[in-house]
Amino acid sequence: MRNRFPRDARLLRPSQFRRVFSSGPCRVSDDAFTLLAKGGEHEQPRLGMAISKRHVPRAVDRNRIKRISREAFRQQRMALPARDVILLARSPARRLDRAQLRRKLDALWQRLIKRCGDC
Per the rule left: phi > 0, alpha: psi between -120 and 50, beta: everything else, 24 is left
The per-residue pLDDT for range 77-96, each reduced to its tens digit, is: 888 888 899 999 999 999 99
- Cα(2)–Cα(29) distance, integer angstroms: 27
Structural element, H or E, at residue 83 = strand 83-89
Note the pLDDT of residue 66.
95
CATH number of 7-116: 3.30.230.10
Note the pLDDT of residue 119.
57
Note the pLDDT of residue 1.
44
Tens-binned pLDDT, residue by residue, of the chain (119 aa): 456 778 888 999 999 999 998 877 789 999 999 999 998 677 889 999 999 999 999 999 999 999 999 999 999 888 888 889 999 999 999 999 999 999 999 999 999 988 876 65
Note the pLDDT of residue 91.
94
CB count in 10 Å sphere of residue 93:
26
Note the pLDDT of residue 97.
95
- Cα(31)–Cα(9) distance, integer angstroms: 26
- pTM for this one? 0.89
Note the pLDDT of residue 64.
96
Note the pLDDT of residue 58.
95
